[in-house]
Structure 1
Amino acid sequence: MPHILSDSTVSPGPLPSLSSAWTGWGQWIALITMSLDHAIRYLLPETWELGWASSSIGRIAFPLFAAMVAWHALFDTRDAQRYARRILVIGLAAQLPYLVMPRGAFQLNVCFTLGLSLAWASGLRTLLGSEAARSNVRHAALGLGLLLLSPGLWLLLGPWLEYGHAGLALVPGFMLALSQLARLSTDPGERAIALAASLPVLALADWLNHSLMAKAFTLATVLGVLWLAAGGAQRVSAVALRMPRWLWLGWYPGHFAAIAAWLLFGAA
Structure 2
Amino acid sequence: MPLMGNAGVDAMEGVERPSSSWTGWGQWLALFTMTVDHLCRYVVPERWGLGWADASIGRIAFPLFAAMVAWHGLFNTRNPLRYARRILVIGLVAQLPYMLMPRTSDDLILNICFTLSLGLTGGTWLQALPRRLAHGGLGEARLVAEATLALGTWLLAGLWVEYGHHGLLMIPLYMLAMQRLHLAGADLPARLGATAMALPVLVVAGLMNSSDMAKSFTVGTTLVALLLAAGAARQVPRVVWQMPRRLWLAWYPGHFAAMALWLWLVGTLG
State if a TM-score over 0.5 links the two structures: yes
C-alpha deviation, 1:44, in angstroms: 0.8
Match of 2:202 in 1: 202
Alignment of 1:160-239 (within 5 A): 160-239=160-239
Match of 1:129 in 2: 130
CA gap 1:197/1:138 in 2 versus in 1, 3 angstroms: closer
C-alpha deviation, 1:193, in angstroms: 1.2
Match of 1:118 in 2: 120
C-alpha deviation, 1:74, in angstroms: 0.6
Q: Does 2:55 match 1:49?
A: no
Alignment of 1:1-12 (within 5 A): none
1:117-172 Cα offsets, whole Å, 9 max, x none, are 1112212322x133x53233545643443234433321111010000011011000
Q: State the superposition RMSD in angstroms.
A: 1.9
Whichever residue aligns with residue 79 of structure 1, its letter is: N
Which deviates the most, 247-256 or 14-23?
Answer: 14-23
CA gap 1:14/1:150 in 2 versus in 1, 3 angstroms: farther
Any unmatched runs of 5+ in structure 1?
A: 1-8
Any unmatched runs of 5+ in structure 2?
A: 1-7
Match of 1:6 in 2: none
Contact 1:81 1:123 in 2 (8 A): no
TM-score, structure 2 normalization: 0.90
Cα distance in 1 for partners of 2:52, 2:42 equals 15
User: Number of aligned pairs?
Assistant: 259
Whichever residue aligns with residue 259 of structure 1, its letter is: M
CA gap 1:248/1:137 in 2 versus in 1, 3 angstroms: closer
Whichever residue aligns with residue 81 of structure 2, its letter is: Q
Identity over aligned residues, as a percent?
A: 53
TM-score, structure 1 normalization: 0.91
Contact 1:113 1:161 in 2 (8 A): yes
Match of 2:3 in 1: none
1:15-35 Cα offsets, whole Å, 9 max, x none, are 531000000000000000000
1:197-221 Cα offsets, whole Å, 9 max, x none, are 1011001110111000000111110
Which deviates the most, 210-219 or 116-125?
Answer: 116-125
Contact 1:95 1:109 in 2 (8 A): yes
